[in-house]
Structure 1
Amino acid sequence: MSLVGWIEGDDPELMWQERALCAQTDPESFFPEKGGSTREAKRVCLSCDVRGECLEYALAHDERFGIWGGLSERERRKLKKRA
């Protein structure tokens, strides 16, 4: 199963997901068990061309689970508090 599996229709706002490196990677590394390592997912994010769009999406939609745009949920929460 790919991470882009939830795309409904051809919403241009979500087209970045088709270019996301995570769509070509094991999704379980982006949603580790509590206390599990996020290192592999974050390494993939570092070289992803749509990392910015991914992070914007996660912040705008208050994603509470997983690695989005190279940040964990806790890191995204801290970022939102600073904004």
Structure 2
Amino acid sequence: MSDPRVPVAALWEWQFRGLCRTTSPDTFFHPEGERGPSRARREARAKAICEQCPVVVECGEHALATQEPYGVWGGMTEEERQAIYREREAARPA
């Protein structure tokens, strides 16, 4: 839950500093039916940008907190985030 003392706009300010803003969204989000080597190459390009990004931590935290279903966020692919969600679910007490 967000802190009521923090203005909502401030919660999103990190996005203005993301390197992804200077790159085509096509780098971070796959087109319909993309698979195999072409998908791996695109994801590698996106992750290389994320590695240099000053807000990669905030971006990754956001993606995990909101369970972002699509794209590369915080240097993580959709599949990598899904694996984290499964690990968290498995570690949750019954």
> What is the TM-score of this pair, normalised by structure 1?
0.81
Partner residue, 2:57: 52
State which structure, 1 or 2, has the greater radius of gyration over its C-alpha atoms: 2
2:76 to 53, 68, 71: 71
Q: Which runs of at least 4 in structure 1 moved beyond 2 Å after TM superposition?
A: 80-83
2:18 to 14, 17, 20: 20
Q: Work out the CA distance in 1 between the residues paired with 2:84 and 2:68.
A: 13
Q: Work out the CA distance in 2 between the residues paired with 1:69 and 1:49.
A: 10
> What is the TM-score of this pair, normalised by structure 2?
0.72
Identity %: 38
Q: CA RMSD in A?
A: 1.3
Q: Work out the CA distance in 2 between the residues paired with 1:32 and 1:43.
A: 16
Stretches of structure 2 that go unaligned for 5 or more consecutive residues are 1-7, 89-94
Partner residue, 2:5: none
Stretches of structure 1 that go unaligned for 5 or more consecutive residues are 1-9
Q: Work out the CA distance in 2 between the residues paired with 1:40 and 1:19.
A: 19
Once the two structures are overlaid, the 10-residue window that deviates more, 41-50 or 29-38, is: 29-38
Whichever residue aligns with residue 78 of structure 1, its letter is A
